[in-house]
Chains A and B, each alone.
Chain A
Amino acid sequence: MSFLPDGHLSSVAIAMLGGAVRVSTPFLFVSLGECLTEKSGRINLGLEGTLIFGAMSGYAVAFMTGSAWAGVGAAALAGAAFGLVHGLLCSLPRVNDIAIGIALMLFGMGLAFYFGKGFIQPVAPTLPSINLGWWSDSPQLRSALRINALFLLGIVLALGMAWMVRATRIGLIIRTVGDSSDAARALGFRLVLVRVASTSAGGALSGIAGAYLSLYYPGSWNEGISSGQGLMAVALVIFARWNPVGCVWAALLFGAAGALGPALQSVGITQGYYLFFAAPYLLTLGVLIATSSPNRSMSGAPGELSITR
């Protein structure tokens, strides 16, 4: 980055660190949700709709009850309900999970916009943040290290999910169901139950991702609140190779990429900002191209996934 003037490199680095922490949390939750769903052998493309509905319901409940955490709970419940609908519909014979996902995405968005009309104006309480930058006297760094509890919760959740998938009986059941229905049936696992529960839990996580958007950063409900986090989650999960810990790194990377455009403009690199703003999307495209191959299936992919079969 030799084209940066002196002193600006650290400034951009701090901004990207701050951006990574602030912007990554919704990516993290929604990709963990997608990861769990895909581990069980289903793909849910409707998480964008779930996320937006979660953002709306979280904001609405936080405003009505005066408690931001009640909003997060409501968003998780709403997300779980969307996941449940997806899971149940896809359990019917000859139903395509991709088509159902897209239908539910449009349904979730429409429903959120309809019920959300009255909540654009009111100001709901926001989630508190933990100040981890108290030791620094740079206001820039202090702001970058103001971390929301949900971010830490997300990291703990990712580690917990990785452990669950690797080392517990539940994890083994989910993996077996996701890798081979025949083997799962032979072992007497209840296929439909496992998949519906996984999809529903994944939906709840996406709902929380939406609540983070509307209750913390940017902390406002409007119809343009999501910039496609729910859709990009699918690419993130592939990027992370269906590994929950990988989702953390992928989310941080995408968050930092999103902060690149404003950070560069603020230090005077103003030419070509459209290109910098496209960074997260270019990254998505690059990931999908790099991981696609006509000859082999993707390593780490659950065998029952309809995209890899």
Chain B
Amino acid sequence: MRPSSRLLTPTRRLFLQSTAAVTGLAALGSLPAGKAHAANVTVGFIYVGPKDDFGYNQAHAEGAAAVRSIPGVTIIEEENVAETVDVQNTMESMIQFDGASLIFPTSFGYFDPHILTVAQRHPDVRFQHCGGLWSADRHPENVGSYFGYIGMGQYLNGIAAGHATRSKRIGFVAAKPIPQVLLNINSFLLGARSVDPEIICQVIFTGEWSMSVREAEATNALADQGCDVITCHVDGPKVVMETAAARDCFVCGYHADQSALAPEKYLTGAEWNWAQVYTSMVTAHLAGEAIPNFVRGGLADDFIKMSPFGPAVTESAQGQIADTKAKILAGGYAVIQGPLNDNKGNQIAAAGQNFEETDVALESMDYLVEGVIGSIS
């Protein structure tokens, strides 16, 4: 479908690399040493879907838009890039034709093998991957990972849901059972259980990051089972929000602010705040400083934020959310607190064992906690 990008055969790529190298050397010769980074830099952003999807990609694109206003920075963007060799071609083209020296391939599935392959070919280009898979002993130095503790946002969503539910059943439409999604599901339930320990959470996996009809079917199936508060982790939450509100369910947002889609039913939402994160990374890159390989942050670091409360959130719910938020902001808050079992009865945390917000162990989560109805395989 994209014949032009397939033209980059190895020989042609080598030719382009050598010409780029020659031009690069010539440019270096004409510049005073050490000023290489003070000149204009080009930053590439790659999205897996459309950048106005009310969700994941929109959140990143809003971050990219904030970077655009930094003097000396040119940004280039490409949307709808599949998690296949397509993204390798996009990265090659951003490097070789546009001269990008910093690239943000924002989708989880871009990392292995695509970013790793291209990063080895271009040791002088910096790749920042969103999702958290980089480890110092296995991956190249010019690759970094960044992510936010958005599970905390889903925990606060869960508190709002716990106060709003009448049926004590809440629902979660999830795309794929990767650690970040599982942490969000578990956090949503545990937040609700901090209000009422009898609440259960039904999860339905759609198997795709974006598949409208199946997301609508999943939302209807949850409503059919009596779930009366629904949230999701898919790339574009628009369909889930609208379908759930039409079935008279409350909704909690994710990725971006979706309150406009269901003004009466929207409780609150866990949103990314990439503008702040991208601005600091690009500013460091522009100044010639190294970006740390492993960047994480939560509510306290302005990586994530909560949507304003909807009209259905009660005073007591707002109070509990504010209290919990203050504890999270103070640092060291643990959503996964022992004793806790997974939903198959295996112990995941002994009494007194807490996994704090920043615990790296949470990034390889492979379980759903007790009270979640669902299976990861």
Q: Do A and B come from one complex?
A: yes
Contact A222 B220, beta carbon cutoff 8 Å: no
Closest A residue, CB atoms, query B223? A143
Q: Which of A217, A266, A272 contacts B377 (CB 8 A)?
A: A272
Interface 1/0s, chain B 260-277, versus A by CB < 8 A? 110000000000000000
Q: Which of B54, B218, B225 contacts A267 (CB 8 A)?
A: B225
Interface 1/0s, chain A 140-160, versus B by CB < 8 A? 100110000000000000000
A261 is an interface residue with CB less than 8 A from chain B: yes
A121 is an interface residue with CB less than 8 A from chain B: yes
Q: How many Å lie between the Cα of A140 and that of B203 in the bound state?
A: 18
B18 to chain A, nearest CB (A): 34
Contact B214 A220, beta carbon cutoff 8 Å: no
Contact A266 B211, beta carbon cutoff 8 Å: no
Q: B53, B206, B214 — which one has the most chain A CB atoms within 10 A of its CB?
A: B214
Say which size band chain B's interface belongs to: 35 or more
Q: Which of B207, B260, B377 contacts A271 (CB 8 A)?
A: B377
A75 to chain B, nearest CB (A): 16
Which A202-240 residues have a C-beta within 8 angstroms of B?
213, 217-220, 222-225, 227
Which B123-151 residues have a C-beta within 8 angstroms of A?
none
Q: Which residues of A contact B238 (CB under 8 A)?
A: 220, 222
Contact A18 B224, beta carbon cutoff 8 Å: yes
Contact A222 B204, beta carbon cutoff 8 Å: no
Contact B224 A15, beta carbon cutoff 8 Å: yes
Q: How many Å lie between the Cα of A218 and that of B216 in the bound state?
A: 6
B50 is an interface residue with CB less than 8 A from chain A: yes
Contact B374 A265, beta carbon cutoff 8 Å: yes
A273 is an interface residue with CB less than 8 A from chain B: yes
Among the stretches B97-105, B239-247, B318-326, B350-358, the one at the interface with A is B239-247
Contact A11 B236, beta carbon cutoff 8 Å: no
Q: Which residues of A contact B218 (CB under 8 A)?
A: 262, 265-266
Q: Which residues of A contact B221 (CB under 8 A)?
A: 15, 259, 262-263, 265-266
Q: How many Å lie between the Cα of A106 and that of B1 in the bound state?
A: 8
B154 is an interface residue with CB less than 8 A from chain A: no
A148 to chain B, nearest CB (A): 13
B301 is an interface residue with CB less than 8 A from chain A: no
Q: Which residues of B contact A217 (CB under 8 A)?
A: 213, 216
B41 to chain A, nearest CB (A): 27
Which B171-221 residues have a C-beta within 8 angstroms of A?
202-208, 210-218, 220-221
Q: How many Å lie between the Cα of A111 and that of B281 in the bound state?
A: 36
B302 is an interface residue with CB less than 8 A from chain A: no
Q: Which of B49, B53, B204 contacts A262 (CB 8 A)?
A: B204
Closest B residue, CB atoms, query A272? B377
Q: Which residues of A contact B80 (CB under 8 A)?
A: 113, 223
Closest B residue, CB atoms, query A123? B261
Interface 1/0s, chain B 46-70, versus A by CB < 8 A? 0001101110000000000000000
Residues of A within 8 A of B (CB): 11, 14-15, 18-19, 22-23, 106, 113, 117, 120-121, 123, 139-140, 143-144, 213, 217-220, 222-225, 227, 258-259, 261-263, 265-268, 270-274, 277
Residue contacts A-B, CB under 8 angstroms, 16 given: A15-B221, A15-B224, A18-B224, A19-B220, A120-B50, A144-B224, A219-B242, A220-B242, A222-B53, A227-B212, A262-B218, A262-B221, A266-B221, A270-B374, A273-B375, A277-B207
